Structure formats: structure tokens, C-alpha cells
Amino acid sequence: MRATEIRALGEVAAEGVTVLRDVVRGMHTGIASRVFTSVGPAARPVEVIHDAIAHTVYSAVGTAGQRLPEAVTAVAAARVHDDTPIDQTPAAAEAIAALNGIYGDELAARGNALATTMAVRVDGRRVDPTPSAVAEAFPDATNRIVVFVHGLCQTETSWRRPPRPGVDAPDPRPYGARLRDDLGFTPVDVRYNTGLHISSNGHGLDELLTALTEAWPVPVSDIALVGHSMGGLVVRSACHYGDEAGRPWVGKVRQVVCLGSPHLGADLEKGVNAASWALSRLRETRALAEFLNLRSDGIKDLRFGACLDEDWGEADPDEFLRDRCAEVPFLTGVSYHFVATSAAPRPVGMMLGDHLVRPSSAAGRGRRRRIPFEADNGLVMTGLHHFDLLNHPDIYDRLVHWLAVSAT
């Protein structure tokens, strides 16, 4: 762990204390205000004393919360001589990914060292998109690339999840390793800050693929893009912005596959939006609403599947359940595919989906909006939860079927 990362942890800890203090103070103030108002003018002297004491206590807690973590991390940073990035350690990388998913937009805005930057990763290590670095990372590179883009609060290691117990999986290896052997695709894993706007990551993925294909050791003929959950939306966004900019890599894309992606939004985010709106109506719970509204831009984009800058650029991010999303056209000549699943049979499965995304959203089939997947380009399954999609033999068989078209 580097000294800058230790100091970054201190900044996060100090911010966490501040947020907790503000929530408690807000609820305390709201409840006290309600009580004093109900009593009337007779309570004014007590109210003045109460407010003075509360202000002193909360100020002291805030000061301690800022200075103590900074002091502790400053001492620790001075004693650290290891220059290995913390995000190369799998357990630490997963914790940082979760932090980025929840709070990554603020980390990036503050320049915090824990803010993940989009990059190709091999064995947890960042690969710079230069010819020498890419050639070293991919010594057996082929002319076909399959790019894997993970979902919210995840890293590229999510793709190495083993099949769920009880599933008959003759080959439990990740999709990428199997596609290399079966179809000659070189798997490329991407890690990114899932707390940023989906469209911001779309721009980033466009730029990364531009640099990667230019630095690739051999001429690239085919590109397949596979995204899980939020990753599918990032892929669609990148294709759109890459096409707008006339990027050469876009012309090499043959297949786009979205596994459990909330094209029409995720119910959990809609529920949190509705809850925070309701909590903000009362002064006693307004602080809780403000706390809930601290969740990242990336999470809020999942409310209705926002893939474009225009979807959020001039909107109040916490407005009550308003869908402003424009449709993102598919690339011409590219086959788009989806996988949707539910954890229970109908009709319960249609309501609950895979615990995070409903089948109708993953398939892009809504009453008002419809994503133009062709009827034969989808796979709908039951009995699987959201993360089972990362490694399942039936899904892999369909991937081989879909991607074989571009491998011939």
C-alpha cells in the first residue's frame, strides 16, 4: 500500500464521520424543532440553551472526526515503504470497488487516490495502452478481441466467479478463457469506477478501446463486447460515442452482449429514490433523505438506464421517478443480444426478476420504451440470480453460438 493511498483512506474515514454527524445532527434538530414548536414561546429559553449545547457538541465531534483520521494516517503513511498499489490485492480491490460504486463520483471529484481509473487489467495489474505494455500483457494476442465490462461495485475478478453449486458445468472456467480456446478470441478485462455517470464511463471506454486497438500487437479484425449489469449500459454508451466520433474500433465490433443489464432501470434504485423523496417531506427525516441522496451518480443512472450525457445533464438527480432517458441507437450491422433471468418462476419471477433486474428491463421491453433487440437475439432463463449470469454453462453455450458468427 502506498503512502498516498493511506492518506486517501484517512480522507474517506474523515468524510464518513462528517456524514454520520450530519445525519444525527439533522435528525436531532428536526425532532427538537418539532417539540419546541409544539410547546410554544414558553420553551424558548430552553431551546436557546439546547441549541448552544448541541452546536458545541456537534462542532467538537466534527473537528475530532476530521483531525483524528488525518493524524493517524499521516503517521502510518510516514512509515510505509511499500510502493505496491493497494488495488492489486484482490480483497482490497473488491472493497475499493464497492466504495467506488457507492461514492466514486465524489472520490474522483476530490482527486482521492482511491478513485478507480478505467483501465485494462491483467492479473489485477493495470495495463497501459501502449504497444510495449500491451504486447507484454498479451503475448499470444489474436486478431479477435472479446472485452468484458463488469457491473456496479465489482472488478474484473467478478468474471472468474465459479458456477453456482449444483449446476452441471463440465468446464467451470471463465467465459473469456473458454472463448479463447473455442473461438480464438483474446479476452480483455476492464476495470472502472462504477460510481461515475454511465455516460462518463461510456466516453472512457470509447477512449480506452481506441488506444487499445491502436496498440494491439496484431491487426484487429473482430471485437465482441460483453457487459454484465451496469457494464452492458456502459458498452452501449461507448458504442454510441465511438460511432459519433468515427472511431476505427467501432467498425470492428460484431457482437454486443448484455447480461442482466437494466436497460429500462432497476427497481431497487427506483425504490430508494421514492424513499428519499418521501423522507425529505418531514424535517425529522430530512437528514436521512440527504444521506440517501449521497449515493453515486452511477447508481442514480440505474433508475431508468441512463446511457447519455443528455439523460442527466440538466436534470435534478433526485427528482421523483421521472424518466428522461433517450434511446441509444444500435450500431448498424452489429448484433445486439441480451440475457434476462428471474430467480423464481412466473408470476413471482416477473415481479422480482433476478433480485436486482426484472426480465422486462433486461430484455428492454417496456410499455413506453423498447430497446430494439431482435426476437431471436435473447435468452430468458429462470432460477438464476443476478450474479449467476457471470458463469453459467447455458449462457456460455449461447455466447459461443452468438460470437461464432463473427469468428467465421
132-162 tens-digit pLDDT: 999 999 999 999 999 999 999 999 999 999 9
Q: What percent of the chain has a predicted confidence (pLDDT) above 70?
A: 83
Q: Are strands 119-122 and 125-127 parallel, antiparallel or unpaired?
A: antiparallel
List the single range of 199-203, 321-325, 349-353, 394-398 with lowest mean pLDDT.
Answer: 349-353
Please, which residues have CB within 8 angstroms of residue 102's CB and are 6 or more apart in sequence? 153, 195, 295, 296, 299
- For residues 234-257, average pLDDT: 98
202 exposure class (CB count in 10 Å sphere: 0-12, 13-18, 19+): buried
What is the model's pTM?
Answer: 0.88
Tell me how far apart the alpha carbons of residues 170 and 335 are, in angstroms, rounded to a whole number: 28
Element (DSSP H or E) covering residue 146? strand 144-149
In order, the DSSP letters of 136-179 are HH-TT--SEEEEEE--TT--GGGGGPPPPTT---S--S-HHHHH
Report the alpha-carbon angle 274-300-384, nearest 5.
90
Q: Are 260 and 340 in contact, with CB atoms under 8 Å apart? A: yes
pLDDT at 29: 72
Band of pLDDT at residue 86, cut at 50, 70 and 90:
confident
pLDDT at 138: 98
Q: Which residue has the higher pLDDT, 107 or 21?
A: 107
Nearest one of 234, 228, 210 to 338, comparing CA atoms? 228
The predicted-structure confidence for 333-342, as pLDDT tens digits, reads as follows 999 999 999 8
Q: Are strands 185-191 and 144-149 parallel, antiparallel or unpaired?
A: parallel
Tell me how far apart the alpha carbons of residues 176 and 146 are, in angstroms, rounded to a whole number: 7
- For residues 46-70, average pLDDT: 66
Tell me how far apart the alpha carbons of residues 333 and 243 are, in angstroms, rounded to a whole number: 12
Helix, strand, coil proportions of the chain in percent (round to 5)? 50, 10, 35
Q: What percent of the chain has a predicted confidence (pLDDT) above 90?
A: 68
Q: Are 234 and 147 in contact, with CB atoms under 8 Å apart? A: no
pLDDT at 81: 55
DSSP letter for 358, please.
-
pLDDT at 297: 98
The predicted-structure confidence for 260-298, as pLDDT tens digits, reads as follows 999 999 999 999 999 999 999 998 899 999 999 999 999
Q: Are 122 and 165 in contact, with CB atoms under 8 Å apart? A: no
Decide if pLDDT at 67 tops 50.
yes
Instruction: Compute and round to an integer the Cα radius of gyration of the chain.
Output: 24
pLDDT at 407: 43
Other beta carbons less than 10 A from residue 356's beta carbon:
22
Tell me how far apart the alpha carbons of residues 68 and 18 are, in angstroms, rounded to a whole number: 12
Say which amino acid occupies 388.
Answer: D
Q: Are 298 and 194 in contact, with CB atoms under 8 Å apart? A: yes
Calculate the average pLDDT of the chain.
88
Please, which residues have CB within 8 angstroms of residue 211's CB and are 6 or more apart in sequence? 129
Decide if pLDDT at 372 tops 80.
yes
Nearest one of 408, 370, 380, 407 to 186, comparing CA atoms? 407
Element (DSSP H or E) covering residue 177? helix 175-183
Give, in order, the Cα–Cα distances in Å from 183 to each of 38, 46, 193, 255: 73, 77, 30, 14
98 exposure class (CB count in 10 Å sphere: 0-12, 13-18, 19+): middle
Decide if pLDDT at 395 tops 60.
yes
- Asked whether the bond before 347 is cis by omega within 30 degrees of 0, the reply is yes
List the single range of 101-105, 258-262, 326-330 with lowest mean pLDDT.
Answer: 326-330
Band of pLDDT at residue 227, cut at 50, 70 and 90:
very high
- For residues 241-258, average pLDDT: 98
List the single range of 221-235, 280-294, 313-327, 394-408 with lowest mean pLDDT.
Answer: 394-408
Say which amino acid occupies 22.
Answer: D
